[in-house]
Homo-oligomer: A and B are copies of this chain.
Amino acid sequence: MINIRTDLAVESRELYKKGSGREVPGVEVEVNSENEISITTVKIVDEIGAKIMGKAIGNYITIETPRIIHYDADFHDLLSKTLAKELGKLINLKENETALVVGLGNWNVTPDALGPRVISKLMITRHLKEYMPEQIDEGINPVCAVAPGVLGITGIETAEIIQGIVSKVKPSVIIVIDALASRKMERVVTTIQIGDTGISPGSGVGNKRMAFTKDTMGVPVIAIGVPTVVDAATMANDTIDMMIDNLIEQTKDNKAFYEMLKDIDKNEKYVMIKEILNPYIGDLMVTPKEIDSLIEDMAKVIGNGINIALHPAIDLKDVNRYIQ
C-alpha cells in the first residue's frame, strides 16, 4: 500500500478495508450526511492505527461534495458554513488570540495555487487590532496570513520561513492550507480534509520536506487540504482494478481464468503499471481541464469558511459583499 500515493485519511482507510475487508484497528470512524454533503470523521486513536493509516494520531474530518458547480453561489455558501462548523470543532480560540493562516503552494502552478488564492480571500485584522483597536468591533479576532511560495521560488524551506514568522507573531493557532494529491479523479476539488495534526513530510503537491506540526511550530497546526491532482499511474491502476473485477464477474464459470485473475497481486500490478507508464508519462500528475475556475471557487469557499470560523461577529452576507 505504501507506494500508492494518497494524502487523504478516507482513502487510506478505504484501501485497508478493501484489502482486509474490515475496519482499520485503532481508528474510529463516524459518517454524517446532509443535503449532498457528507462528513466523515476519522479518529486515529493509537499507534497501530497511525501505522496502518500512515498518519499521525489525531482527528481527520473529510467533507465530501458532489461536483463543485461554477456560479452555484448558494452551494458555495453552504459549503463555507459546513467548513466553518467543522473547523470550530478543532479550533478553540479565546477572544483576541491570534490566528496565523499559511497558504502553501506555488502561485505560478494553477493546481498548486489553492493556498495563496485562499489567503487573498481572508479578512486580515491583526494590524487593525494593533493600530486602531477602537475601530474594530467585538467578535473580530486578530488574523494574519502569509503565502510564502515554494522552495524553488524562495530557496528557503517553507516551514523554516513560518517558524521564523511564528517566533515574531506568536499566534495561538496556525491554519495551513495546501493542495493535495488524491487517488481518484472524482475527489479533485470536491473533497476538503481538515486535520489537527498538521502536515507531515512528503505529502502535498509541492515539495515540503519539513513538517508543519505542533512539534515544529510550537502551537497547534490545523491543516486544510483539498485534492487538486491525481497520479496518472494510480488512476490507471484503479481503472484496471475495476476492469478486472468486472472480468471476474463475467467469467465465474471459466475457473482457470477466474483463479488466474484473482491471483494478480495488486501491488505487483501497480508496480508493473508504473513500469509500463513511466517510460512515457513518468510520475505524471494530472488535473481537470477546468482547474482554473475550480481553484478560484474552492479558494472562495475555504476563505469564507475560515473568515466566519475565526470572526464570530462576521455574517457570510457581509463577507460576500466586502471581500472580492
- A: residues with CB less than 8 A from B are 67, 71, 73-74, 108-112, 119, 124-128, 142-149, 151-157, 160-161, 163-169, 184-186, 205, 229-230, 232, 235-236, 239-240, 242-243, 246, 251, 254, 256-257, 260, 272-273, 276-277, 280-282, 284-293, 296, 320-322, 324
Contacts and interface: CB of A to CB of B under 8 A. Distances in A.
B205 A289 contact: yes
14 contacts: A124-B152, A124-B153, A124-B155, A127-B155, A144-B154, A160-B168, A161-B168, A167-B167, A186-B281, A205-B289, A230-B286, A251-B260, A285-B289, A286-B289
Given A154-B146, A156-B144, A239 B287 contact: no
A179 to B, nearest CB: 9
A166 B168 CA distance: 11
A168 B151 CA distance: 14
Given A164-B164, A232-B185, A239-B239, A146 B142 contact: no
Contacts of A160: 165, 168-169
A322 B69 CA distance: 11
Contacts of A156: 126-127, 144, 146, 165, 168-169
A290 B155 CA distance: 20
Q: Among A125, A142, A160, A239, which residue has the most Cβ atoms of chain B within 10 A?
A: A239
A277 B124 contact: no
Contacts of A286: 185, 230, 232, 286-289
Nearest to A77: B321
Contacts of A161: 146, 164-165, 168
Q: Among A145, A154, A285, which residue has the most Cβ atoms of chain B within 10 A?
A: A154
A81 B166 CA distance: 39
Contacts of A296: 324
A144 B152 CA distance: 9
A101 to B, nearest CB: 9
Given A163-B164, A257-B257, A285-B288, 16 more contacts: A71-B322, A74-B321, A109-B292, A110-B110, A128-B155, A144-B156, A146-B148, A164-B167, A236-B236, A239-B239, A254-B257, A284-B288, A285-B289, A286-B288, A286-B289, A296-B324
Contacts of A257: 254, 256-257, 260
A242 to B, nearest CB: 5
Nearest to A272: B246
Contacts of A108: 292-293
A289 B292 contact: no
Nearest to A251: B260
Nearest to A179: B289
B151 A155 contact: no
A8 to B, nearest CB: 15
B276 A110 contact: no
Nearest to A232: B185
A103 to B, nearest CB: 11
